[in-house]
Structure 1
C-alpha cells in the first residue's frame, strides 16, 4: 500500500487506460485539473452531479423560517475534513440568541466525541437528539431544545426534508470536497450557504448565493457575523439566487442534455461542446 507503488501502478497501467478513453467526466473544474495532473491528455467533460427539486416545503415547517431563533444547518458526515471543529470554535465566539446551530449527520471515526469534547472545553452548551427521535413533518428542531447547538443523528426522507425546510441558512466550512450535494440540496431549498472555496462551487459566490470563508475558525466566525447581520430579505434573496442556480445548471434534465451532447459529439463528430476541455 506504499505511495510509490501506487504511483508506479498508476503510470504503468491506469494512466494508459485513461488515455485510451474517448472522453472523461469530471464533476467540477478542480477535479478536471486533478485528472490532468496525472498526465491524462484526452478530452474531459465537466458535468456536475444533478439534483431533483424538492416537493413543496413540508407542511407546517416552511413558515418557521425567519422566526427566532433562526437555524444554521450543517448536514453531512461528521469527519475532520468537514471543518466542524473550526465551526464550533467560530460558533462559540459568535453565538447569538437569535440563532441556533444544528449539526446533523452520521459519526465517522468517533469525530462526534471530539466535537462534543471541544464544546465542553469552550463552555458551549449543547444537546443531542437521537436519530430515531429526530423531528418529522410538523416538528422543527428549534422547538426541541434551549441550547444554541444541537447534535442530531443521520436524517433521511421526510425528516431530512423537514430539517432543510425549517432551516434559515446552511454551512459547510470544509477543507476538501468533490462536489458537495448537501450545498446543492440547500440551494434547492432556498438556503444561503456559508462555505469555502474547497466546495468547488465558485458559481455560487458569483451568483450571490454564498458567503465565502476560509477553513479557519477566524474566517468562519467572520462569515457567521456577516450572515447574522443580514436582513431577512437579503438572506432570502441569497437563497433565491441559489435556487435559480440549481434550476439553471444542476437539474437532472440539464445534466442529461449535457451528457447526450457529449455522446453525440463522440459518435458523430462535429463541434466540441463548450464544457469539454
Structure 2
C-alpha cells in the first residue's frame, strides 16, 4: 500500500534518487508520514545494480539539511562516495564543504517537477504501491525517450535547456530502459521453504529477506512452508506486503492464483518433489536453491535415504528445473560434479544490524574476552571440533559462548564433551535468542567462530562481520574472502587447524582484532545488502521468463 496519515491527511510519499543529468536511478514509496532520511539506505541500495551497469559510481551524493546525520554520512562513505549534505543551524559547518556540488541539488527538484507533468504521478490513483511506482517509471522512461531523434544519424540528448550531441546516450539508454522495464510488468512469484520458524536457522531468514527485497523492487511475492510457519514469519519487515500462505501446497496454490514462477529452497523433502511435479504439470518455470544439500558432508548424512531419493525422484527433479541457484563457488562445483546445468551464482543478502552506525559502538579492551558461536546445535556445525580445540588452549581470559536451538539432541552430546574436557567454567551453552539480543551478542563478541563442515553461505558469518566482529571459520564455508582480505581466519575443518587459528586470534591485540572487524564490516555492508541481492535475483527471473 505505502500510504499513511500525515499532516495533510491520508497520503503517500515517493523517494527518488537521480544522477547529475536528472535521470531517475532509484525510487521507493512509503506512507506520507515517513521522513526522507529513514529510507535513504534502502534507496541507495536499490539503485546500486544500475550504477554497476554503467561501470561507475558517483563522486558525490548531495542532500538537503533534512539528511544531516552522522549515520547517513557514514553510510554514503561506506560506498566510496563523498557526502555533500547541508548542516543544520545547531551543527558546526564543515570547512571542506563543497558548495559548488551542493548548488546542483536543485536537479532533484527539477526531476520531481518533470515527473509531475504526468497527472497520474502528481496525484496517486493506484491502491497498490507497485502499480503507482510502475507509472512513475513510465513517466521517467517517457522523459528519457523524448529528446531522442529517431531519424537522426547521431543520437541527440537535451540537457537542461541546451541541445547536446551525446554518443554516451547510445550506450546508456538501452541499459537504463532495461532496468526500468522490470517494474513495468510486475513478476508474480511464490517462494517456498521447508520452514520459516526461527529454529530453522539461515534459510528461514534468507528466504524472508529475499521476499522483502523482491517486493520492494516491484515484484509480487508470496511465501509458503509446509509447516504453516509462513503465517507467523518473524523475519519479514513490519507491515510487509509479502503474502503469507498456509495449509497444504494445493491450498496455497489455489489461494495465490496465477504465478509467473516458483522458487523453491531445498531438496530431498516430499514437498520439494510435489512442487516439481506441479510445475511440470502446469508448465510453470521453477528455480531451485540447493542450500548446500549436495555438499559431500550433507550427502554422507543419512546417505542411504538420500541415495534412494536421488534415484527415485531428486535427480529428475533437478534436471527438470529451469534454473538452479547457488550462493557460493563450492556449491557451484558440487552442482557440476553431479552433471547438472550451470547454476546462478547469487549470494545471500543480510539485514544490517540496527547499531551499525552508532558512534558509541565498540569492543571491550580490558577484562574477559568472548568468542561466540550462534546457530543451530547440529552435527554439521562442527561444534565437537570447536570444544576439543578449545580444550587445547592455555588458560586465559577468553570465554566461549555457544548460542542456538538444539536439534536432534545434539546439545546433550556437547554438554558431555564440555564435562569430559573440564571446560564448565569457560564454555557456556545458551538457548536461542531473539533478533535484538542476537545483534547485541554479535556486537559485544571479540571473535565469532563458525567451525561448520559445510555451509552453502553462512548468514551468521556475514551478520557477525556486519557487526564489526572478526571471524574464525572453515573451508567448508564459501568465505575465502576472509583469508584473502585478512578479515579473520579461514582454515580446514579439523581440531588442529581450528586450535591453531584460535591461538593466533587470542594472541592478537584488541586493536588488531578491532581493525579486522572494521574491515570485515566495510566488506559485507558494501556487497551483501538485501536490496542489491534482490535486484540481481529480479533480473535473473526476468531473463528466465523472457527466454521461456
TM-score tier, shorter chain, comes to 0.7 to 0.9
Which ranges in structure 1 are unaligned for 5 or more consecutive residues? 127-146, 270-277
Which deviations, in whole Å up to 9, do the C-alpha atoms of 1:33-57 show, x marking residues without a partner?
A: 222233223x422111101211116
Partner of 2:337: 37
Go from structure 1 to structure 2 and tell me whether the alpha carbon gap of 1:75 and 1:10 turns closer, same or farther (over 3 Å shift): same
Partner of 1:13: 316
Correspondences of 1:181-192 after superposition (within 5 Å) = 181-192=459-470
SS in 2 for 1:198: coil
Deviation readout 1:130-169 (Å, 9 max, x if unpaired) = xxxxxxxxxxxxxxxxx32211111112221221121111
* Distance of aligned partners of 1:2 and 1:82 in 2 relative to their CA distance in 1, 3 Å threshold: closer
Which structure shows the higher strand fraction? 2
CA contact (8 A) 2:443 2:464 kept: no
C-alpha separation in 2, matches of 1:197 and 1:175: 8
CA distance 1:2–1:267, shift in 2 (3 Å): closer
Q: TM-score, normalization: structure 1?
A: 0.79
Distance 1:14 1:122, change over 3 A: same
1:150 corresponds in structure 2 to: 428
TM superposition shift of 1:70:
0.8
Instruction: Give, in angstroms, the shift of residue 16 of structure 1.
Output: 3.6
Would the aligned equivalents of 2:471 and 2:489 in 1 still touch at CA under 8 Å?
yes
Could you list the runs of 5+ residues in structure 2 that have no partner in the other structure?
1-303
Q: Which of 1 and 2 has greater Rg?
A: 2
Determine whether 1:110 maps to 2:419: no
For 2:347 and 2:436, how far apart are their aligned partners in 1?
25
Q: CA RMSD in A?
A: 2.5
Q: Answer whether contact 1:57 1:165 (CA < 8 A) is retained.
A: no
Q: Is the 8 Å Cα contact of residues 363 and 446 (structure 2) preserved in structure 1? A: no
Q: Helix, strand or coil for the counterpart of 1:78?
A: coil
Question: Within 2, Cα distance between the matches of 1:7 and 1:268?
Answer: 31
What SS does structure 1 have at the residue aligned with 2:452? Answer: coil
1:256 Cα offset (Å): 2.1
- Equivalent residue of 1:262, what SS? helix
- Name 1:258's counterpart in structure 2: 536
- Inter-partner Cα distance in structure 2 for 1:37 and 1:8: 16
Question: Does residue 247 of the first structure (1) align with residue 525 of the second (2)?
Answer: yes
Whole-Å separation in 1 of the counterparts to 2:405 and 2:315: 38
Where 1:164 maps in the other structure, the secondary structure is: helix
Report if the CA contact (8 A) 2:355-2:361 is conserved.
no
Q: Is the 8 A contact 1:97 1:148 kept in 2?
A: no
TM-score by length of 2: 0.42
The number of aligned residues is 244
Q: 1:28 corresponds to which residue?
A: 328
- Equivalent residue in structure 1 for 2:496, among 218, 226, 235: 218
- Shift of residue 63, structure 1, vs aligned partner: 4.7
Larger RCO, structures 1/2 (Cα 8 Å, 6+ apart): 1
